[in-house]
Amino acid sequence: GPNCPGVITPSTKTRVGIMPGDVFLPGKVGVVSRSGTLVYEVVAQLTSLGIGQSTCIGVGGDPIIGTRQVEAVRLLNEDPDTDAIVLVGEIGGSAEQEAAAYIREHVKKPVVAFIAGATAPPGRRMGHAGAIISGEDGKAENKKAALRDAGAYVSDSPAEIGITMQRARAERGLR
């Protein structure tokens, strides 16, 4: 979608977009993100912990998108090469609530989620057109609550996404 870095499958070195292939480690964790920059942060953390990635999908954060976040989660859930999912969301819109509803009903794999922009004041544009809180659905706390209710491990800090995934995988008996 618009304002995204693209998609990459590290094991086959297949990519579309601007994601640099040399920062990824082939593995079993799928990543879906509305934030392009945070894809790289998540991948750096996972890779430093020896946790490889199956496919990383940037859906972008603009109001008009291509692939919806819930569609990307569905693809990773159905992918036999993915055994866990990282979901990076942002304030604004209701994409994370849609993803949470799908996760609650269909996903048995561990999901680690982070919502960027939690400290943004309502009505203030943060970064780009999609990251603005307008209404209850767009608030970070409501997105986090929906994801927690769906069974996701929610990280309150971007610096803890990797260790949260490490813990989630260990609790589920995944290596």
Closest listed residue to residue 152, CA positions, set 81, 63, 57, 69: 69
Residue 65 identity (one-letter amino acid): I
Q: Mean per-residue pLDDT for 149-163?
A: 97
Indicate whether 91 pLDDT > 70.
yes
Q: How confident is the model at residue 127 (pLDDT cuts 50, 70, 90)?
A: low
39: burial class by Cβ within 10 Å (0-12, 13-18, 19+)?
buried
Indicate whether 133 pLDDT > 50.
no
Q: How far is CA 94 from CA 45, 69, 98, 136, 172, in A?
A: 27, 10, 6, 9, 29
What is the architecture of the domain spanning 6-171?
3-Layer(aba) Sandwich (3.40)
Indicate whether 170 pLDDT > 90.
yes
* Catalytic center residues: 128
Decide which of 61 and 67 is more confident: 67
